[in-house]
A and B are shown apart, each in its own frame.
Chain A
Amino acid sequence: MTESRQHALQDRIPTLRIRDLSIEFARRRGDALKVVDRVSIDIWPREIVGIIGESGSGKTLTSLATLRMLPKRAVIAKGTMHLGETSLHDRSEREMRALRGDRIALIPQDAMQSLNPTMRIGRQVGEPLELHSGYSVSSALEAAGKLLGSVHIREPEKRVLEYPHQYSGGMQQRAMIAMGLALNPQLIIADEPTTALDVTVQAQVLKLLREIRDQKGASILFITHDLGVVAELCDWVYVMRNGEIVEDGAVRQIFTAPRAEYTRMLLDATPSIHTTPAVAR
């Protein structure tokens, strides 16, 4: 189809394959509420794939299902998920814990809420290495310094000893990314990682994610509500609405020749910095 999807023709295995995934919420009365409905997604090696949707579209639940981190009342009603050749839908919690961080990493929206305010940054960034790879505290701290350096935090050997409140918002998000990178995961799931950031800082974080793909060869699943960010970063896009995928395609195709009515509406609704409505009307 397009260059980014040529893998599909060479019968290689995608990094992540989701097939017919349905997620339901149990309700006290009546039938279960279906919130994600027969969603299928492929992410190929070294690909940055976006899921775009408005609130309630099911984009975050889909990504949480991949990590098997759904809220308690939500259940996977149907479908399969594979990370390479490893199935995810039928793993026990213990097996999932070994995969999380090691092969799939999550970068959450709000770094401040995800960091422990009472623990030094270096200890938190190095923690995956202590837990998964048997590093000692001091060697994990040293590795954390290198990781912080790789996400462009200046004077990392000094900064590892600081606490989250001493970091700016952009630095906190970069520290979360460094933590996600610790174990060299194949797949990084980033859930609105730049939504809370200023535009100039957002631009730096997007650049960093692209670098990680280019240098470490990771695949990235990027969840967002922002069409501009998708245009800037992604190779392939899935558009979600009310729990369903309404269309998917290469970024340029989605933006220049959207097939779904909903995608067209989203494009029209997104204000541009290049046009004023007074002129357009």
Chain B
Amino acid sequence: MISLTDVGKTFGHTRLFGASTEFAAVTDVSLSVARGKTLGIVGESGSGKSTLLRIILGLIPPTSGSIVIDGQDIVNLRRRDEKAFRRKVQPIFQNPASSFNPRQSIGAILKAPLEVHGIGTRQSRRDRVSEMLERVGLPAEYAARHPHQLSGGQKQRVAIARAVILKPAVVLADEPTSALDVSVQAQVLDLFRETREAMGLTSIFVSHNLAVIRQVSDTVAVMRLGRIVEMGSVDAIFANPQHDYTRALIDAVPDPAAIMAQA
């Protein structure tokens, strides 16, 4: 469903009087995600995980390599195909507060993708918004509210609703729960899993949190300094990590289960 081959991204800038410096944010990344599966990408800050996700979203052009989503080459996407691509691939970002327009009602925020793509009538769009709100566990009346009237968890529910309202095939999530309290995070992760299963979504989930990655992923890619150092099934990566860095990363996570096992 999603297939990347040797994707690279170099950021460069030319200093005053010529000397140019280059920085490779992503180097030789190849990966694939099967239909209906979730790939978790885990890495520390600066590992290139968010840059990679933005490349797959089509927000940053890669310097090299190819990306094919659902049989379509998205690096050299033609203008008229772009809208269809955007309909098929939807993002969920870390901070919903900054990805919503504070002056718009929740209803308007959810309706916008349908309007942009010219889907349905005024009435059917309104119905669809109510339906989506209920699907993510919010009362339909919330359509009239504004983002500041919602808690962080509720906003992230709306973000999920907005991502799936167009019935996309692919959802790309960048740290969608890292700003939330654990009890709320657990609910949002549950919702993410439910929605994914109900709609048969293929997804990529980026996080610095190994435990969260373990909860949502079928396969896991560990990134460091712009490269994938290890990739495999979620159980293989966590039970039997091959790479030193993966091991160091897993060992560094403080885990309540360890202390419970001691007793």
Residue on B with the closest CB to A268? B186
Taking a contact as CB atoms under 8 Å apart, the answer to whether B44 and A199 are in contact is yes
Indicate if A273 sits at the interface (CB-CB under 8 A).
yes
Query: Which residues does chain A contribute within 8 Å of B183, judged by CB atoms?
Result: 54, 265-266, 269
Contacts of B251 in A (CB 8 A): 203
Neighbouring A residues of B215 by C-beta, 8 Å: 271, 276-277
* Most B-side CB within 10 Å, residue of A54, A169, A198, A199: A199
Q: Tell me if B259 and A272 are in contact (CB < 8 A).
A: no
Interface size bracket, B side: 35 or more
Q: Is there an interface contact between B254 and A229, defined as CB atoms closer than 8 Å?
A: yes
- Which B109-124 residues have a C-beta within 8 angstroms of A? none
Query: Would you call B256 and A270 a contact (CB within 8 A)?
Result: yes
Cβ of B248 within 8 Å of any chain A Cβ, yes or no, is: yes
Asked whether A273 lies within 8 Å of B253 as measured between CB atoms, the reply is: yes
Q: Is the CB of A231 within 8 A of B259?
A: yes
Contact string against B for A residues 52-96, beta-carbon threshold 8 Å, 1 for contact and 0 otherwise: 001100000000000000000000000000000000000000000
On chain A, the residues within 8 Å of B254 by CB distance are: 202-203, 206, 226, 228-229, 231-233
| A267 and B256 contacting across the interface, CB-CB below 8 Å | yes
Which of A54, A230, A266, A271 is in CB contact (< 8 Å) with B189?
Answer: A271
Do A272 and B255 touch (CB < 8 A)?
A: yes
Total inter-chain residue pairs, C-beta < 8 Å = 98
CB nearest to B189 among chain A residues: A271
CA distance A230 to B255 in the complex (A): 9
> Do A271 and B186 form a contact, CB below 8 Å, given A199-B208, A255-B260?
yes
Interface class of chain B by DSSP: helix
A7 to chain B: which residues have CB within 8 Å? Answer: none
Interface set, chain A 251-273, CB cutoff 8 A to B = 251-252, 255-256, 265-273
- B:206-222 near A, CB below 8 Å: 208-212, 214-215
> Would A199 and B253 count as touching, CB distance under 8 A?
yes
Q: Which of A55, A202, A274 contacts B257 (CB 8 A)?
A: A274
Which of chain B's residues have a CB closer than 8 A to the CB of A226?
A: 254
A residues in contact with B193, CB < 8 Å: 277
A227, A232, A275: the one contacting B182 at CB < 8 Å is A227
The interface size of chain A toward B, counting residues with CB under 8 Å, comes to 35
Determine if B235 and A276 form an interchain contact, defined as CB atoms under 8 angstroms apart: yes
**Is the CB–CB distance between A273 and B210 below 8 Å?**
yes
Contact between B249 and A276, CB atoms less than 8 A apart? no
Contacts of A206 in B (CB 8 A): 254
Contact mask for chain B residues 240-263; partner A; CB cutoff 8 A; 1 contact, 0 none:
000000001111111111111011
Indicate whether B45 reaches chain A with its CB closer than 8 angstroms: yes
Chain B residue contacts of A169, Cβ below 8 A: 45
Q: Are B189 and A228 in contact (CB under 8 A)?
A: no
Given the complex, which residues of A lie within 8 Å of B44, measured CB to CB? 198-200
Indicate whether A271 sits within 8 Å of B255 (C-beta atoms), given known contacts A200-B44, A200-B248, A252-B262. Answer: no
CB-CB under 8 A from B181, the residues of chain A are 54-55, 225
Q: Which residue of A lies closest to B259 (CB)?
A: A231
Chain B residue contacts of A251, Cβ below 8 A: 259
**Which single member of B185, B214, B252, B253 contacts A269 (CB below 8 Å)?**
B185
Judge whether B234 is part of the interface by a CB distance below 8 angstroms: yes
Q: Is B238 an interface residue (CB 8 A)?
A: yes
Please state if B250 and A273 are interface contacts (CB–CB under 8 Å): yes
Closest B residue, CB atoms, query A202: B252
Mark contacts of A180-210 with chain B using CB atoms, 8 A cut-off: 1 yes-contact digit, 0 otherwise. Answer: 0000000000000000001110110010000
Q: Assess the B258–A198 pair: CB atoms within 8 A.
A: no
Given contacts A55-B181, A228-B256, A271-B214, contact A198 B186 (CB under 8 A): no
Closest chain-A Cβ to B147's Cβ sits at a distance in Å of: 17
CA distance A267 to B215 in the complex (A): 15
Give Cα distance in the complex from A273 to B250, angstroms: 8
Q: How far is the CA of A270 from the CA of B189 in the complex (A)?
A: 11
Q: Which residue of A lies closest to B181 (CB)?
A: A54
Pick from B182, B253, B255: contact of A225, CB below 8 A: B182
With A54-B183, A199-B44, A271-B211 known, 19 other A-B pairs at CB within 8 A are A55-B181, A198-B208, A199-B252, A202-B254, A231-B259, A252-B263, A265-B183, A266-B182, A266-B183, A268-B186, A270-B211, A271-B185, A271-B212, A271-B215, A272-B211, A272-B255, A273-B211, A273-B238, A277-B193
User: What are 6 A-B contacts with C-beta separation under 8 Å?
Assistant: A54-B182, A54-B184, A202-B252, A268-B186, A273-B250, A276-B214
Interface, chain A (partner B; CB < 8 A): 54-55, 169, 198-200, 202-203, 206, 225-233, 251-252, 255-256, 265-277
8 A-B pairs with the lowest CB-CB distances in the bound complex, closest first: A228-B254, A232-B254, A271-B211, A269-B186, A54-B181, A198-B44, A203-B252, A231-B259
